[in-house]
Amino acid sequence: MPGPAELLVCVKCRRGREIPEDDRRPGQALYDALAARVAPEGLRVTPVECLQNCEAGCTVALRGGDRWTYVFGNLDEVSHPDMVLDGAARYQATTDGLIPWRERPDHFKRNCVARIPPLTPES
Amino acid sequence: MPGPAELLVCVKCRRGREIPEDDRRPGQALYDALAARVAPEGLRVTPVECLQNCEAGCTVALRGGDRWTYVFGNLDEVSHPDMVLDGAARYQATTDGLIPWRERPDHFKRNCVARIPPLTPES
């Protein structure tokens, strides 16, 4: 069983919209929707203040252990939470973070913002 | 003196151009230009195969220690190497990865692709 992974959710995301100060932002709504579901075993869901992918939000990142870190954008807080958790579970099931292409959610295939390699012993 | 930092350079970047198989890609040229310069103290320059910011390359990432990781895009292999190393030195000089806004290179201000928080003790 691969080690734990973390799903980071940008809770400050406005997704390009003007949001009244007292309203709930799309990023917060996405986090709330994810936190309300049962997380896959070995996955922690963490709110983050701004992943700075503001022009293509909502945004999440997946990381943990010796895996590549991935950032995914263009997420919708209503239609995408189940897909995000499914993709996160498939990510957690890997040791290197590389979800096999055929298993990868289509949204992840088309909306990868960036990825970062795992730390090497010299890093 | 803050600990070491790492500058990751995507050497596979085509920057949206078609590159003959035997030609040197813009990403490789950017890495070569950076590696040919004297790196700031405490900074390691590392080639990486695809940071998957392919639509807005060339791309680098900065990380290390307890700092936020930053990804910057739209880099030019000819005009930007000195700016990248200057920004990397300013990044390395921080403990949290947050270069003070007034010190931040303009290109970094406008071309941040994403950032990832440092690992927390529970991560």
Per-residue pLDDT of B51-69, as tens digits, reads 888 888 899 999 999 999 9
Find how far residue A108's CA is from the centre of its chain. Answer: 10
Dig out the tokens for B73 from the structure: 């895009």
The answer to whether the Cβ–Cβ distance between B59 and A116 falls below 8 Å is no
- Provide the 3-class DSSP secondary structure of residue A27: helix
Summarised one tens digit per residue, pLDDT across range A50-66 is 888 888 889 999 999 99
Average pLDDT over all residues of chain B:
92
pTM, full prediction: 0.92
**Rounded distance between C-alpha atoms, residue B90 and residue B88, angstroms:** 5
Closest CA to B58 of B36, B38, B33, B40: B33
Average pLDDT over all residues of chain A:
92
Fold of A5-116: Glutaredoxin (3.40.30)
Q: Is A69 on the interface with B (CB under 8 A)?
A: yes
pLDDT band at B122, cuts 50/70/90? low
The answer to whether the Cβ–Cβ distance between B113 and A115 falls below 8 Å is no
Q: Is A92 on the interface with B (CB under 8 A)?
A: no
pLDDT band at A22, cuts 50/70/90? low
pLDDT of A122 reads 58
pLDDT band at A96, cuts 50/70/90? very high
Contact residues on chain A for B64, CB-CB shorter than 8 A: 123
Domain boundaries, chain A: 5-116
**Rounded distance between C-alpha atoms, residue A8 and residue A10, angstroms:** 7
The answer to whether the Cβ–Cβ distance between B116 and A69 falls below 8 Å is yes
pLDDT of A24 reads 86
